[in-house]
């Protein structure tokens, strides 16, 4: 089997586990059951149009980050990502179009931690999140996303 075919493979759809909106800079995240993903990102979110319109993180990484901090899993609102997804490797979706609920996103770049992680978690917080901070995506087709929706590449 070719490397290209191996890279294109995936085992199962992922699932949307948490949805959060950032109403403004440094304001608390608001957890919601569903949201509309428009061309500029999630409606009601302080998002940026373009390749960073939507931010996603793997639920599995919340425990890893917590472990690096010497505690249990961190909560999604602390990391300020829009969507928490389980069951599919988001890193394997880089550059691909992915259906998330009714919307189609293209995963663009990693969502690197910011210096605020030191403020939030204390010394070493930035390093604990590094490599586990999730992904940014641009909106290819707007649509609604709800808790429990499938997340899968478009083949």
- The pLDDT score that the predictor gives to residue 74 is 94
CA-closest candidate to residue 16, choices 150, 153, 152: 150
CATH 2.40.33.20: does it fit domain 3-153? yes
pTM for the model stands at 0.92
- The pLDDT score that the predictor gives to residue 143 is 98
- The pLDDT score that the predictor gives to residue 27 is 83
- The pLDDT score that the predictor gives to residue 3 is 81
The rounded average pLDDT for each run of 10 residues, N- to C-terminus, in the chain (155 residues) is 78 94 86 96 88 94 95 92 96 94 96 86 92 94 98 90
Domain boundaries, the chain: 3-153
CA 96 to chain centre: 14
CA 107 to chain centre: 10
Helix (H) / strand (E) containing 60: helix 59-68
- The pLDDT score that the predictor gives to residue 112 is 86
- Per the CB < 8 A criterion, the answer to whether 9 and 82 are in contact is no
- The pLDDT score that the predictor gives to residue 47 is 78
Q: Is 97 left (phi over 0), alpha (psi -120 to 50) or beta?
A: beta
- Per the CB < 8 A criterion, the answer to whether 122 and 68 are in contact is no
Listed in sequence order, the DSSP H helices in 71-148 are: 76-79, 116-121, 125-129
Cα distances (Å, whole numbers) of residue 49 to 54, 68, 154: 9, 32, 22
């Amino acid at each position: 089997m070719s490397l290209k075919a191996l890279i294109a493979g995936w085992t199962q759809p992922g699932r949307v586990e948490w949805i959060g909106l950032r109403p403004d800079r440094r304001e608390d995240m608001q957890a919601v059951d569903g949201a509309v993903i428009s061309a500029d990102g999630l409606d009601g979110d302080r998002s940026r149009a373009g390749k960073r319109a939507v931010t996603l993180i793997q639920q599995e990484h919340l425990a890893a980050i917590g472990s690096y901090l010497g505690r249990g899993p961190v909560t999604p609102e602390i990391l300020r990502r829009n969507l928490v997804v389980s069951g599919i490797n988001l890193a394997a979706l880089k550059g691909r179009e992915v259906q998330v609920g009714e919307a189609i996103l293209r995963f663009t770049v990693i969502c690197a931690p910011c210096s605020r992680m030191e403020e939030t978690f204390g010394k070493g917080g930035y390093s604990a999140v590094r490599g586990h901070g999730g992904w940014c995506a641009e909106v290819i087709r707007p649509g609604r996303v709800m808790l429990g929706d499938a997340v899968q590449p478009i083949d």
